[in-house]
A and B are shown apart, each in its own frame.
Chain A
Amino acid sequence: MRQARGGTMNVVILGCGRLGAYLARRLQEEGHRVTVIDKDSGAFNRLGPGFDGKKVVGTGIDEDVLRRAGIEQADAFVAVTNWDNTNVMAAQVAKEIFHVGRVICRIYDHLREEVYRGLGLETLCPTLLDGDQIQQMLAA
């Protein structure tokens, strides 16, 4: 069982934007093995000098790119590019083809998020999360 609770996980993160880079650093600090994919190699600068995980340049909806990123050994796959459609498709590939145990997918559009949650993807929608949070802050 690769995915021992509290043990070390192999995590592949698609999209090295602010969220992807932050998550990569945090997971590495917790002792996990992290690989980051981005189509723009310049995006890896966000990881900072302390990051020693693998960096793969390429698009995340390509099976070969995902293989190079070690998705076959991954315990978790996180799709957090800025493009909902890319995240959805990459998550489907990770789940259906590579049978990654945990697949998490960011979708900004809350209508689309609802649909794909219904289709069995583990999704999160920053628009809804932020909206709820702000509403609560205003109510407090």
Chain B
Amino acid sequence: MATFVIIVGGGKVGTHLAAVLLEAGFRIRVIEEHRSELARLQRDLPAEVVTIGDGTDPLVLEAAGIRQAHVVAAVTGLDEVNLVITSLARFEFGVPRVIARVANPKNAWMFTPEMGVDVALNQADMMAHLIAEEMSLGDMVTLLNLRKGQYSLVAEKVVPGSVVAGKALRDIDLPDACRIVAIIRQGELVVPHGDTVLQPVDEVLALVRAAQAAKLAAVLGANAEVP
């Protein structure tokens, strides 16, 4: 029998999740109380999967079939609502797997097993980390250590406004025990030559003697003087 998932909250997150799960062959039900969301729900999902009502009301949850549910996902935009759903799902109805969306990252600490939560998805926090990662230019990453760490394959992004941005490789004063082996530019491999010009956010892969890695990082990360 297909896994039965109850999704509480039929906003954009809930509707998208429902569509993905339906496509993947899950049995689902979406609970939503706000009339404003119902029109979109009824347009995007089969009528029989939508339950109208307050997902924190135990009677509504029962009517939606929570006693047969394998998974409950509480994805409304209100943390107090999501947490009441998770604790009811776990402690009143014994749902085996309970997943919740953290709407306000300040409230993330409350999404614990004591509140019935198995998995908390902190959207804002995940986004923030992904964005921070994308912005982490100038940090050299070691991809591989060779010969017990004597040599390293490293990667570093070219910071916009750095000294090396716009320079040809032959004009860059690299450490002597260092070779630039590849450049990833907009997801494509560029095989470097002396006349290859570095561009901002190029990912530079270099083979370097470990002792000179810091010097390489300094060259690639150096900021141009602000005129």
Note all chain A residues with C-beta closer than 8 A to B107.
61, 89
Q: Is there contact, CB below 8 Å, between A84 and B83?
A: no
Taking the complex as formed, is A62 at the interface, i.e. its CB lies under 8 A from any CB of chain B? yes
Taking CB as reference atom, which chain B residue is nearest A110?
B58
Name B90-122 residues within 8 Å CB distance of A.
Answer: 91-92, 106-107, 109-110, 114-115
Q: Is there contact, CB below 8 Å, between A93 and B106?
A: no
What secondary structure prevails in chain A residues at the interface with B? Answer: helix
Please tell me which stretch of B12-20, B34-42, B73-81, B163-171 contacts chain A, meaning at least 4 of its Cβ atoms lie within 8 angstroms of it: B73-81
Given A85-B84, A89-B79, A92-B115, A115:B91 Cβ within 8 A: yes
B78 to chain A, nearest CB (A): 7
Taking the complex as formed, is A1 at the interface, i.e. its CB lies under 8 A from any CB of chain B? no
Taking the complex as formed, is B33 at the interface, i.e. its CB lies under 8 A from any CB of chain A? no
Note all chain B residues with C-beta closer than 8 A to A86.
80
B72 to chain A, nearest CB (A): 14
Q: How far is the CA of A111 from the CA of B54 in the complex (A)?
A: 14
Taking the complex as formed, is A88 at the interface, i.e. its CB lies under 8 A from any CB of chain B? yes
Q: How far is the CA of A97 from the CA of B114 in the complex (A)?
A: 13
Q: How far is the CA of A111 from the CA of B92 in the complex (A)?
A: 9
B77 to chain A, nearest CB (A): 13
Q: Is there contact, CB below 8 Å, between A61 and B58?
A: no
| Cβ proximity bits B64-88 to A, threshold 8 Å, 1 near / 0 not | 0000000000000011110110011
Q: How far is the CA of A61 from the CA of B24 in the complex (A)?
A: 37
B125 to chain A, nearest CB (A): 16
Q: How far is the CA of A62 from the CA of B78 in the complex (A)?
A: 12
Taking the complex as formed, is B56 at the interface, i.e. its CB lies under 8 A from any CB of chain A? yes
Q: How far is the CA of A118 from the CA of B56 in the complex (A)?
A: 17
Note all chain A residues with C-beta closer than 8 A to B79.
61, 89
Q: Is there contact, CB below 8 Å, between A84 and B106?
A: no
A87 to chain B, nearest CB (A): 9
Query: Which one of B78, B91, B115 contacts A85 once the chains associate, using CB atoms below 8 Å?
Result: B78
Q: Is there contact, CB below 8 Å, between B56 and A85?
A: yes
Taking CB as reference atom, which chain B residue is nearest A60?
B80
Taking the complex as formed, is A63 at the interface, i.e. its CB lies under 8 A from any CB of chain B? yes
Taking the complex as formed, is A139 at the interface, i.e. its CB lies under 8 A from any CB of chain B? no
Given A84-B84, A88-B83, A116-B87, A111:B110 Cβ within 8 A: no
Q: How far is the CA of A116 from the CA of B80 in the complex (A)?
A: 13
A21 to chain B, nearest CB (A): 22
| Cβ proximity bits A100-130 to B, threshold 8 Å, 1 near / 0 not | 0000000001011001101100000000000
Note all chain A residues with C-beta closer than 8 A to B81.
85
Q: How far is the CA of A116 from the CA of B106 in the complex (A)?
A: 23
List of 7 A-B pairs having minimum Cβ-Cβ separation, nearest first: A89-B80, A85-B80, A111-B58, A85-B84, A115-B92, A86-B80, A85-B81
